[in-house]
Chain A
Amino acid sequence: MPRTEDFDAFVATRGHALVRLALVLTGGLPDAEDVVQDVLAKALPRWRKISAMADPEAYLRRMVVNTHISSWRRFRRHETPVEAVLSSENATDSADTVLNSDENRRLWSAVLSLTPTQRVAVALRFHEGLSYAEIADLTGTREATARSHVFRGLERLRSVLKGEL
């Protein structure tokens, strides 16, 4: 029987971080919450073993990434960047300053134009602050592959933003 109180405590403290990661991956809060709920529903029956792992959050982050990629493959989503997708409605003051910059709005739109694997790598690198080795471990790829995804993602961003920087 899963230790539900432990599960609840973990979700209360770290669930929000998973939603934020999912938000960067999916580009929208409803989709992000769907992904995280999906992941947590799958994790709940196995919580006893997951919670005994050295880093349960890393395991759930991997689930979030895989669920996002699998969902993208299933529905063959081809998101089209929109002009203004940044939401500053709930942002903090400092975040609001960042979000209100036109350049940064275009950068976020450019992020949404990345391929799913590039976006995952970029999000893990620049949002989660993971090393290439950690990204490789989390995505089940080699470190060189993770590095390549980040590099190509950045190249694509530069291409989209060409002339701005």
Chain B
Amino acid sequence: MTEQHDDLETRLAAVLRAQTAGTPRSTDLAAAARRLNGTRRRNLLLTVATMAAVVVAITTTIVLVGGNPDRPSSPSPAPPASFDGTDWIPDGFRAESYDGIEIAVPEDWRYGDLSQWCVPEDHEAPVFDRPGGISTLVGCIGPGGYGVQFLQTGETDLEGAADREFPDDAAVRSRSFDHLRVLVVVRGETLADQIIGTAHEIVGLDTAGCAGSEQLSLARTPDLTPDEGGPISVCRYDVHSNRASLVQSELLSPSDSESARAALDAAPEARPARCSAENGAQGEVVLLRTAEGPLAWVHTFSCLGTVVEWDGTVRKLTPDVLHWAYSPGWSGVVPDGVNFRLRTFR
């Protein structure tokens, strides 16, 4: 019996290897992938545009044929008149920011991945999809889930969403800004209108106290201000050349802010003699700031790996620092293999 097992397994391995041994090399896989990606991006944007046109057409038709004006209806909430302060955030909603855009979503929404490359088939709960994370489930297909998604409208860096299929009962809304399009897919026309009505460009600081973009360079430490207490804003940026676009923002509670300060104070110093900041053109940094200005930033030194600068010193990243520097929903490669506990959904 053992010989039979060994024989089959040996033959099987040989047959599988032989079957693929003569596979001709595809010379243009990368180019083909790039073309396919571009086609999907165009198809998706066309799909969204078409759906928006259909909504307009249906609405117009109802008016033209004189649909019963006395019929009870659920009027969509009017968009906020102003996005100053927090009055624009409906009750039971929270604010989320991405790349210069801020939007309010229901408080109980979690973070997730709505891009077409992976939506579990049983995905039902709406999520806030922030591009750029690492998904543990990849390559799935099927109708997309519910939630808010950002689609890059530029020629590069589209984060995956392609060949999108929407659930049958979905209300779909989208709104374009200069550089990206916000896509809302939810159950219920009123909720869809309510959410898309809150999408706006960040002017100055967002609700969490972070700028929509910063003039940050990976090669130069920003001017950090002395800490005078107060709530800390956690601002995570994606840096391209000398421009940093906001990926995620969070305003820590007063008690969490004190815990974050304690973690920063406890981090050991890391600076050896003469060490320059990373000169790479792109990367991710986290800026911790108060209303007074930037306090600390997490970035990469070429000879030290990822560090945090705080209170005039360069310090090693510790699990406690990362615990506060990365907001719930973050995903990616842990800097320098530091094993830390990611905060869960608030």
Among the 9-residue stretches A76-84, A102-110, A141-149, the one with 4 or more Cβ atoms under 8 Å from chain B is A102-110
Q: With both chains docked as a complex, state the minimum distance between the C-beta of A24 and any C-beta of chain B, in angstroms.
A: 6
Candidates B7, B23, B282; contact of A90 at CB < 8 Å: B23
Candidates A7, A23, A40, A74; contact of B20 at CB < 8 Å: A23
Instruction: Chain A residues near B8: list those with CB within 8 A.
Output: 154, 157-158, 161, 165
- Report Cα–Cα, A53/B134, bound state, in Å: 9
- Report Cα–Cα, A1/B179, bound state, in Å: 13
Does A111 sit within 8 A of B, measured CB to CB? yes
Instruction: Chain A residues near B157: list those with CB within 8 A.
Output: 1-2, 45
Does B106 sit within 8 A of A, measured CB to CB? no
- Report Cα–Cα, A71/B163, bound state, in Å: 14
Candidates A65, A90, A161; contact of B22 at CB < 8 Å: A90
- Report Cα–Cα, A93/B133, bound state, in Å: 45
- Report Cα–Cα, A26/B252, bound state, in Å: 50
Instruction: Chain A residues near B160: list those with CB within 8 A.
Output: 42, 45-46
Instruction: Chain A residues near B24: list those with CB within 8 A.
Output: 29, 90
Instruction: Chain B residues near A8: list those with CB within 8 A.
Output: 30
Does A39 sit within 8 A of B, measured CB to CB? yes
Q: Is the CB of B22 within 8 A of A42?
A: no
Nearest B residue to A89, CB-CB: B22
Q: Is the CB of B29 within 8 A of A40?
A: yes
Q: Is the CB of A44 within 8 A of B26?
A: no
Nearest A residue to B154, CB-CB: A1
Instruction: Chain A residues near B12: list those with CB within 8 A.
Output: 107, 111, 122, 126, 154, 157
Does A121 sit within 8 A of B, measured CB to CB? no
Instruction: Chain B residues near A129: list those with CB within 8 A.
Output: 13
Instruction: Chain B residues near A39: list those with CB within 8 A.
Output: 139
Candidates A70, A86, A89, A154; contact of B141 at CB < 8 Å: A70
Q: Is the CB of A44 within 8 A of B9?
A: no
Instruction: Chain A residues near B282: list those with CB within 8 A.
Output: 1, 48
- Report Cα–Cα, A157/B141, bound state, in Å: 30
Does B15 sit within 8 A of A, measured CB to CB? yes
Does B63 sit within 8 A of A, measured CB to CB? no
Q: Is the CB of A126 within 8 A of B138?
A: no
Does A120 sit within 8 A of B, measured CB to CB? no
Q: With both chains docked as a complex, state the minimum distance between the C-beta of B139 and any C-beta of chain A, in angstroms.
A: 3
Which 10 residue pairs of A and B lie closest in terms of their CB atoms, listed nearest first? A66-B139, A40-B33, A90-B22, A91-B22, A20-B20, A98-B18, A95-B21, A95-B18, A41-B36, A67-B139
Question: Could you pull out 18 A-B pairs where Cβ atoms are within 8 angstroms?
Answer: A1-B156, A1-B157, A15-B26, A24-B19, A29-B24, A42-B162, A44-B37, A49-B332, A70-B139, A92-B22, A94-B21, A95-B18, A96-B22, A98-B18, A103-B11, A111-B15, A129-B13, A154-B5
Residues of A within 8 A of B (CB): 1-2, 4, 7-8, 11-12, 15-16, 19-21, 23-24, 29, 32-33, 36-46, 48-50, 52-53, 59, 62-67, 70-71, 74, 86-92, 94-96, 98-99, 103-104, 107-108, 111, 122-123, 126-127, 129, 140, 154, 157-158, 161, 165
Residues of B within 8 A of A (CB): 4-5, 7-9, 11-26, 29-30, 32-34, 36-37, 40, 116-118, 132-134, 136-142, 156-160, 162, 240, 282, 332-333
